[in-house]
Structure 1
Amino acid sequence: MRAQKRNKIAALVIAITVLLTAGLAVALWTADGTGSGNARALTAQTITVNATTGAADLYPGFTDGDVHFTLTNPNPYDVEFDSMTPGAITSSDPVNCPASNVSAVGDTGLSLPVSANSTSGAQSIQDVVSMSAAAPDGCQGVTFTIALTLTGSQD
């Protein structure tokens, strides 16, 4: 009888152990989930062209003047510009030397890089500014500011 009782207890312990182990195994099984997530593209920020003063190279009749500037890129990626279109020109002394004494032409095939979240070092586009051969003496020492539109892409 004792042996039978021990066998029943042993069988009960084994059964409980098997059930607990099976329950634990079920609890450790993997789970699945379905649904969706979002990704969002940022909006590109405008890169600022900042006029800087370069070497004075204009004089009456000269057609190979340079335009000088830096670029400020607030975007998280590098940008490289490959073309320039000039806009309005202003004179620092419009009374003695009207801006009409200077002209600028566009240029292509440029390589004007600016790193992400930074301001470039000094940049220039060569041989795009001309001064009229009839420019008066009042143009000596005058600074001309040229609006620039640069075109390029993410680098």
Structure 2
Amino acid sequence: MKILQRFTVLRGGRRAVATLAAVVLLLAVGAAASAYWLMGGIGSGNAAAGQLQALTGKALVQLAPGQAPLYPGGTADAAVSITNPNPYDVQLYSVAAAGPAAPDAGHPQCVTTGVAFQSPAAPLTPTVTIPANATLTVSLPRTVTMDLTSDSGCQGAMFDLPLILEVRK
């Protein structure tokens, strides 16, 4: 009988130890969770936003393969060479006219150019990404027009097309 009693005491003791360990473990987990959720603090931090550097661009009238030069009543593609001086890529979102087209200095009789830039829909499709610290030439199909009011002195002229480029990071 002594042996049986001893076995029962040990068995009960193991159960008590296991129960006690489980309770201690639950209390520890509960305390840690409570501390995590109720924890507060004071601190300071700072950050600086970078400034987007201005992109530069130059628009040229680009003839598509088999296309005749720009003429009164005609259209042509614009090739826009864009330089991105930023240390990150930017997406060209839109291109819009920023003023009237001006003929080159060799064509002083070209007073009425009749040349206009037709802005493509924004956002540009397909998406155009200009790599960091790089120059990319983007072709904008059928965006340059010459109407019938153009002076005959505009024949053979090169035109400066001032544009506004909208980019997004």
Both proteins in one fold, TM over 0.5: yes
Matched, 1:86 2:101: no
Q: What is the number of residues matched between the two proteins?
A: 119
Matched, 1:114 2:126: no
> Is the deviation greater in 92-101 or in 70-79?
92-101
Change (3 A) 1:51 1:103: closer
Distance 1:53 1:134 in 2: 19
**Matching residue within 135, 143, 155 for 2:150:** 135
Residue deviations 1:52-102 (CA, integer Å, cap 9, x gap): 46337311111x322222111111111111211102211114522225321
Distance 1:127 1:144 in 2: 16
**Matching residue within 52, 55, 71 for 1:47:** 55
Q: Which residue of 2 aligns with 1:145?
A: 160
Partner amino acid, structure 1, of 2:165: L
Change (3 A) 1:35 1:87: closer
Query: Could you tell me the TM-score, scaled by structure 2's length?
Result: 0.60
Unpaired runs of 5+ residues, structure 2, are 1-41
Q: Which has the higher strand share?
A: 1
Q: Which residue of 1 aligns with 2:72?
A: 60
> Is the deviation greater in 142-151 or in 103-112?
103-112
Cα contact 2:103–2:154 (8 A) shared by 1? no
Distance 2:53 2:118 in 1: 26
**Matching residue within 113, 136, 140 for 1:100:** 113
Q: Which residue of 1 aligns with 2:25?
A: none
Change (3 A) 1:39 1:46: same
Query: Could you tell me the TM-score, scaled by structure 1's length?
Result: 0.65
Partner amino acid, structure 1, of 2:115: V
